[in-house]
Amino acid sequence: MNVSELNIKVSKTENSRIHPLTKDNLVFGKEYADHMLVCDYKDGEWGTPEILPYGNFSMSPATSFMHYGQAIFEGIKAYRQPDGSISIFRPVDNWKRMNVSAHRMGMPDIPEEIFMEGMRQLIELDAAWVPGEAETSLYIRPFMIAMDEFIGVRSSETYRFAIITSPAGAYYNKPVRIYVQDKYVRAAKGGIGFTKAAGNYGASMLPAAEVKKMGYDQNLWTDAVENKYVQEIGTMNVFFIVDGVALTPDLNSGTILAGVTRDSIITLLKENGITVEERPISMDELEAAHKAGKLQEAFGSGTAASMSFIANLTYKGEQLDLPEVSEWKISPKIKAQLDDIRYGRVDDKYDWRFKI
């Protein structure tokens, strides 16, 4: 099906909930725009997508995803441009990654035309919900859930794909304190760590709550075998600047997400002449670099938080403090360049902006 031929049924809300959107009143994930996209899969094919007023789903208590976790999602952002228009950042890459998750979870592929054109029309309809201040955006949440009313253990035969959106401000507003996790495990080789499956995040809730009670902002996950090779930080990819070189875990083990922001940062680092090493990184290596004064910067990267700078890492009772962010030379520059592209302040030579 050609995108231009895609028929989307649109039912507009009669009572918009729009209000002044400023970074002072936007809390991530707390409120949602007026409309949502919904498309159902049954009998081996996707039906006609619909854009509806945002509202609740009605479903059976036996609905499959609630029992067996066949649920995946993506995170994307739309940004207000200097001329008032709207661009979405690299949504095609999110569509491709969502289908990687779908395949691993035994779910059907989502056609590009439904994902992309459905998203475009939804954002176009709710354009007023895209805020315009610095550090604000419209967060876009596509997701798919298994819809069979059946509690036998098998892949569902019916699914629902939907997109909801939420105006967002800054995720973290200061450098974060990180606890290096060596008790709980996020992902192991052969598992689903490389997907955006709901279960990955559900299993992180208790460890996150425990470290927050200890005074930390997030976990740095380590491998399932030796508990020393870094994987992700919370729900983000992670980077370390060691003696002027950018280190980040590679994707070979299948335990971390192939982040779109991660890929963008690697591209910009290389463009700035920074050597990037994608490889296994042990906490022993980072601890030695810190003692030698070579652990210069560290940050998490992801759609929600963009780049979140790290103040310190606590590993086996020892706190590894990083220099003040005001002393950093690389990460703030890369964040500024990434923001300039997202917000349309510079030319888009990578073709990362999808214009609405």
Alpha-carbon distance 96 to 118, whole Å?
Answer: 15
Host domain of residue 335 = 176-342
| Burial zone of 311 (CB within 10 Å; 0-12 exposed, 13-18 middle, 19+ buried) | middle
Give me the pLDDT at residue 5, please. Answer: 63
Q: Is 67 domain-assigned?
A: yes
CATH code of 52's domain: 3.30.470.10
Q: Are residues 228 and 125 part of one domain? A: no
Report pLDDT digits (tens) over 311-343.
Answer: 999 999 999 999 999 999 999 999 999 999 999
Q: Is 353 domain-assigned?
A: no
Report pLDDT digits (tens) over 223-245.
Answer: 999 999 999 999 999 999 999 99
Other CB atoms within 10 Å distance of the CB of residue 240: 25
CATH code of 200's domain: 3.20.10.10
Give me the pLDDT at residue 200, please. Answer: 93
Q: Is 354 domain-assigned?
A: no
Residue 328 tokens read as 């950093």
Mean pLDDT of 278-301: 97
Mean pLDDT of the chain: 95
Other CB atoms within 10 Å distance of the CB of residue 66: 15
Q: Residue 1 pLDDT > 60, yes or no?
A: no
User: How many residues would you count in the chain?
Assistant: 356
Q: Which of 1-10, 42-51, 291-300 has the lowest mean pLDDT?
A: 1-10
Alpha-carbon distance 356 to 344, whole Å?
Answer: 13
Domain boundary, last residue among 170, 199, 216: 170
Q: Are residues 193 and 111 part of one domain? A: no
| Burial zone of 52 (CB within 10 Å; 0-12 exposed, 13-18 middle, 19+ buried) | middle
Kindly state the percentage of the chain with pLDDT values over 90: 91
C-alpha dihedral sign at 65, 66, 71, 77: positive
Q: Are residues 128 and 193 part of one domain? A: no
Domain boundary, last residue among 170, 197, 215: 170
Mean pLDDT of 181-206: 95
Which of 342, 217, 215, 230 has the alpha carbon at shortest distance from 281?
230
Q: Are residues 293 and 155 part of one domain? A: no
Instruction: Find residue 310's DSSP bridge partners.
Output: 176
Q: Are residues 166 and 217 part of one domain? A: no
Q: Are residues 192 and 131 part of one domain? A: no
Strand, coil or helix: what is 207? helix
Report pLDDT digits (tens) over 240-277.
Answer: 999 999 999 999 999 999 999 999 999 999 999 999 99
Give me the pLDDT at residue 3, please. Answer: 43
> For residue 26, what are the contacts with CB-CB under 8 A and spacing of at least 6?
131, 136, 167, 168, 169
Q: Residue 115 pLDDT > 80, yes or no?
A: yes
Q: Are residues 162 and 276 part of one domain? A: no
Domain boundary, last residue among 170, 187, 211: 170
Residue 308 tokens read as 């979140």
Give me the pLDDT at residue 304, please. Answer: 82
> For residue 79, what are the contacts with CB-CB under 8 A and spacing of at least 6?
86, 87, 88, 89, 130, 137, 138, 342, 343, 344
